[in-house]
Amino acid sequence: MLAARMLIGRAAADASQPLDRPTLVFVPSGSASRVTVIDGASNRVVSTLDVAGRPSHVLVSEPTGTMVVSFEGRQALQLVSLARPGERSILSLPLTPDAMVLSPDGYLVGLVDGARGSIAVVSLHQRKLLFELAIPGGPRHLAFSSDGSQLYVTAARAPELALVDIVQQSVISRATLGRPDATQTAASALTRTPDGRHGFVALRDSDSVLVLNLSTLEPVKRLQVGRLPARPWGTADGRLMLVPNEGDGSISIIDAQALVVRATVPAVRDVAAINTGWFESLAFVTSRTERRVAVLDLMGFARLGDIELPAAPGAGVVNDSGQKLFVSLAETDQLAIIDTQRHALVSLVSGAGGRPSSAVIARTNNYCH
C-alpha cells in the first residue's frame, strides 16, 4: 500500500513483517492538533500528521488511503490522504458528529448527531456528503450492515431500532426493543455477527441482551446477563459475544450460535474496550479507572489474570494477526503495547503526543461493529 510506504519510510527497513503488510497505528492527540503514526512492527513513531484542530474521532480507510478526522463542536470532517499527507480537505457538514463509524468495505462513513436528531453518510471515494436524515426519537448509536448497504440506528429517547437504507436514503424498517411505555430507553449500539445473521443489543435497564434476526428485525431471544450491560463486543470468528456489565464489573460470554450465556466472569469496571486476540482464544478487557487489562480465557470461560498499566487507558486495538494489542495512555503521552500470547506489557512507546485519546488501525483482527 503506497500510503503505508510513504508514512513508514526508513522505519520499514527495521520491520519484522513485509513492507506490503505494515501495521500503522494512528494515535489522535487529546490536547493538540495532530495525529501520531506509529509503526506497529518496530514500535517506533514514524510520522506526525498535523490536522485542523484537536481531533475528536479518527477513522482510517485502507481502500481509499484516507484518514478521517472529526472535531468537537465543529460541523466538518477533515480528509487526509495517507499517500500524500499534504493533500487534505475540509468537508462541511450540516451536523456535528458525536460519533462516526466506517463501513466494512471502508468506503462510507456514518455519522450521528444526537442533539440535532439526525444521522449522515459520507462517501470517501466521492469525497462528499451523500445525505442527512432525521431520526425520530433521536439517534444515539450507529452500526453498518455486513455489506455496508444499510445502517442500524439505536434511538436515544425510545426503545427502538431504525433500519436505514443508504441507496433509498430513508428509514425502511423499525424494531421495538422494549415496552413502548417503559422508561427503558438505554439501548446500546447493535453489534452484528460477522455473517450478518444476528444483531445483539444490550438493554441496560432490564439487565438483558436482545438478539434480533437482521433479515427481518424480529426478536429471536432475550438473554439475561449481569447488571447494567453495555454494548456487546464480538469475536472475529463470530463464535462469541462479550457483554461488559457496568453494574457489577463482570463480562457475560454469549455463545453467538446457540444463543445462550455460557458464563458471567468477574472482570473490571468502566470498560474502555474489549479486544480479542491470539487466535480468538483470549479477550482483553481494558478498564479506564482501574488502569488494568483483565485477560479472559475464551475457551474455558475464566479470568486468567490482569495486566497492570502505568496510567488510565483509552480504547485499544489489536493488529490483524491478533498478536499485539495497542492501548493509548493519555496521562503519560505513551502507547502501551501488549503481547497477547504472553499476556504481558512488552513496550511503552513515548512521543505518542499530547494526551493520546485512542489508538486506531486500518487493518485489524477485530471486525467492525
pLDDT, residue 23, reads 85
Are 287 and 251 spatial neighbours (Cβ–Cβ below 8 Å)? no
Tell me if the pTM is above 0.95: no
Pairing of the two strands 260-266 and 250-255: antiparallel
pLDDT, residue 332, reads 87
pLDDT, residue 12, reads 40
How far apart are the C-alpha atoms of 152 and 288, rounded to whole Å? 28
Average pLDDT, the chain: 89
Assigned CATH topology for domain 188-266: Thrombin, subunit H (2.40.10)
DSSP-derived letter for residue 17 is S
pLDDT, residue 328, reads 94
Per-residue pLDDT tens for 48-68?
999 999 999 999 999 999 999
Average pLDDT for residues 139-145, to the nearest whole number? Answer: 94
CA angle 164/165/170 to nearest 5° reads 65
Nearest to 42 by CA among 15, 4, 6, 20: 15
How far apart are the C-alpha atoms of 287 and 306, rounded to whole Å? 11
Higher-confidence residue: 85 or 309?
A: 309
The percentage of residues in the chain with a pLDDT greater than 90, rounded to a whole number, is 79
pLDDT at 4 over 70: no
Average pLDDT for residues 244-260, to the nearest whole number? Answer: 97
Are 331 and 3 spatial neighbours (Cβ–Cβ below 8 Å)? no
Average pLDDT for residues 222-238, to the nearest whole number? Answer: 96
Task: Return the bridge partners of 345, or none.
Answer: 338
Instruction: Say which amino acid occupies 348.
Output: L
Quick one: CA dihedral 357, 361, 362, 368, positive or negative? Answer: negative
pLDDT, residue 183, reads 52
